[in-house]
Structure 1
Amino acid sequence: MSSKIPTVKMHNGVEIPIIGLGTATNLENPNVKELKAAFQAAIDAGYRTFDTAAAYQNEHIIGEFLEELFKEGKIKRSDIFITTKVWPTEFRPMNVEKSIKSSLEKLRLDYIDLFLLHGPTPVKEENGKYVPDLVPHIGTWHVLEKYYKAGTFKSIGLSNFTIPQMEDLIKKAEIKPHNLQVECHACFPQYELQEFCKKNDITFTSFATLGSPTRTQYDPTANWGDASPMELPVVKELAEKYGKSPGQILLRQMTQRGIIVIPRSTNPKRIHDNISIFDFTLTDDEMKKFTEIKENIRLFLWENFNGHPWHFLNQEETTVK
């Protein structure tokens, strides 16, 4: 791992960089040239982890870039940490296997550093619409455990799961999740969920740390939570004090909570700025100000994505325990 970036150790001893590049951009028509330029800018800035997913439709682009990178000999496979995920339409064990093999092939890798279940609610397509597919989480999880034992996955985890869903899985699992990735930001701080993860020795990753200002690209017709972390008075105040951007303040505050962040961008300057957060430290009093923020607003209102698998995320009644 790069010595420039602090890491967080998972309960199996594997270390993950505390900041990485999120890649969920232009899902319908990813711009290959733009994404590769962003990946190169990230490598040059010191990033060593990339967060992707089968649903992002860019694993093949990342794979091509990594292969080129390794051939140059400047970066070794062991220097890079790759996270990817299986989408809830593929949660039946046979389909999980196919998705895993597809991800490995597209990424051009023989192992994946962290593999996640992308959501808690399995779905299937019927008559052109997505409906719940009552597949027990544990059956899907056992497939991930198999690949973990084989060394194909160095660590395994969950995304968008609630505390009750995680409790049930942990009771039945042979291998406890190593990581949870969820929406988490200054206006939706997830203190209870983070505390649960701490008690269970599960590392915690935030997405939408900056408020995901471009989130409407996923569905312009959907209803979105209305909150802007970068516009919070305390964030602006601290940005002025430290000579940093609001985004840098938000990322620093989150990493000081021990939370992994994966801001996404294709802008080389912003990519550089996002990782330039380790030359200052917020005081205890300044960190406390964030706990006094009254907002508790989820931005990704999954139930509003009618006709899409996201419609069912976090709806526990559609899952089998």
Structure 2
Amino acid sequence: MNSKQQTVRLSDGHFIPVLGFGTYAPQGVPKAKVTEATKIAIDTGFRHIDSASMYQNEEEVGLAIRSKIAEGTVKREDIFYTTKLWCTFHRPELVQLCLEQSLKKLQLDYVDLYLIHFPVSLKPGENYLPTDENGQYIFDTVDLCAIWKAMEKCKDAGLTKSVGVSNFNRRQLEMILNMSGLKHKPVCNQVECHPYLNQRKLLDFCKSKDIVMVAYSALGSQRENIGIVQNNPILLDDPVLDSLAKKYKRTPALIALRYQLQRGIVVLAKSFTEKRIRENMQVFDFQLSLEDMKVIDGLNKNVRYISFTKFKGQPEFPFSAEY
């Protein structure tokens, strides 16, 4: 079944495809590879493409989307595109500028979803990760409610159809939901989520507020990032996932992705290998039993692969709270 037919309704009435294609590429992956992989993903049936200003590859992703539109493979309205506000653009007057820069790189008129990437603020400037002479990050004061008001204005201006957040904990979500004059509530919270970090409490809270959870690093992906935790157990080598993969005649990756879909989570799958990109679309071809879902629930270890530890100690660092 084509993924574009499997969508979840967001609280603002728009629909998000439940399987998304993640485009973050570690340093060393050629930029052209991002264009090629995104084209393959669209050809395979992916209609939800996830990127960010911070990934510094929106020109390449935009090129892939526009070429598939030009070919007639898809129309613009078939594609659900997400971008994110990076931490150096948190001053309210910069929020729309960040989105406009993304749109210029993409050469698109609007995005479908604009997220606050991370709730900690960095000093504004050209550098995505500004540091002082000692190599320490230069942080800025953060006012999440002021940032959110600026996000709402981007939606009202038609530059994005929906607005949401990423890496927010329960307290930060409540701060937005309870702010005075709230016009548009966050439609989603994109967070790290996989069988080793199943985010059960945060998921229950989000569901209670009609906020869709979107899972990144859904395969426990090890990636060169400012936040990567080294020496974590490799999720896809887990013997339980391996035995379930044999039982269902699938891969451990497909078991991990299917687990999220059945929990009502929108899941992002990232790969630059054609075989794996095509394989990930098979997530719609089978279903896990309730017993096996419980078995996977039991794998939770609260292990984070993306920890943003260098942001720790900041007042709004989100991962110090339980959820």
What's the CA shift for 1:203? 0.5
Q: Secondary structure at the match of 1:132?
A: coil
The answer to whether the Cα contact below 8 Å between 2:23 and 2:38 also exists between their aligned partners in 1 is no
- Does the alignment pair 1:277 with 2:277? no
Equivalent of 1:132 in 139, 162, 168: 139
Structure-2 change in CA distance of 1:126 and 1:284 (3 Å): closer
Contact 2:115–2:165 under 8 Å retained in 1 = yes
Residue 130 of structure 1 and its aligned partner are, at CA, apart by: 2.1
The aligned counterpart of 2:21 is 21
The 1:317–1:223 alpha-carbon spacing in structure 2 relative to 1, beyond 3 Å, is closer
- CA deviations on 1:251-283 (whole Å, 9 max, x unpaired) are 011111111111111100010111211111001
Higher relative contact order (CA 8 A, sep 6+): 1
Q: 2:10: which partner in 1?
A: 10
Shift of 1:59: 0.6
What amino acid sits opposite 2:121 in the alignment?
Answer: P
| Contact in 1 for aligned 2:168/2:318 (Cα 8 Å) | no
**Structure 1 residue aligned with 2:204, among 182, 195, 219?**
195
Report the 3-state secondary structure (helix = DSSP H, G, I; strand = E; otherwise coil) of the residue aligned with 1:113.
strand
Matching of residues 206-225 of structure 1 within 5 Å: 206-213=215-222, 215=223, 217-218=224-225, 223-224=229-230
Residue 59 (structure 1) aligned with residue 70 (structure 2): no
Deviates more, 1:2-11 or 1:246-255: 2-11
Deviations 1:46-90 (A, max 9, x none): 101110000000111111222222222231000001000011111
Deviation of 1:42 after TM superposition, in Å, equals 0.6
**Residue 178 of structure 1 corresponds to which residue in structure 2?**
187
Matched, 1:152 2:149: no
Whole-Å separation in 1 of the counterparts to 2:111 and 2:262:
27
Deviations 1:85-137 (A, max 9, x none): 01111100122222111011111111110000000111214635423311211
The corresponding residue for 2:68 is: 69
Percent same amino acid among aligned pairs?
37
CA gap of 1:23–1:280, structure 2 versus 1, over 3 A, is same
Match of 1:78 in 2: 77
Q: How many residues align?
A: 309
Q: Which amino acid aligns with 1:189?
A: N
Q: Please say if residues 229 and 305 of structure 2, whose CA atoms lie closer than 8 Å, have aligned partners that are also in contact.
A: no
Q: What stretches of structure 2 of length at least 5 have no aligned partner?
A: 124-129
Matched residues in 2 for 1:219 and 1:117: separation? 17
> Distance in 2 between the 1:218 and 1:126 partners?
16
Cα distance change on mapping 1:32 and 1:227 into 2, 3 Å: same
CA, structure 1 residues 289+66, in 2 after alignment: closer, same or farther (shift >3 Å)?
same
Is 2:3–2:47's contact at 8 Å kept on the other side of the alignment?
no
Q: Determine the C-alpha separation between the residues in 2 that align with 1:313 and 1:82.
A: 31
Alpha carbons of structure 1 residues 244 and 89: separation in structure 2 relative to 1, 3 Å: same
State TM-score, norm by structure 2: 0.89
Alignment of 1:239 with 2:245, yes or no, is yes
- Residues 164 and 186 in structure 2, CA contact (< 8 A), matched pair in contact too: yes
- 1:208-254 C-alpha deviation (Å, 9 max, x unpaired): 110103x2x2259x643613222223211110011100001000111
- Counterpart CA distance in 1 for 2:292 and 2:163 is 34
Distance, in Å, in 2 between the alignment partners of 1:300 and 1:314 is 17
CA distance in structure 2 between the aligned counterparts of 1:67 and 1:254, rounded to whole angstroms: 30
* Aligned-partner SS, 1:169: helix
CA RMSD in angstroms comes to: 2.2
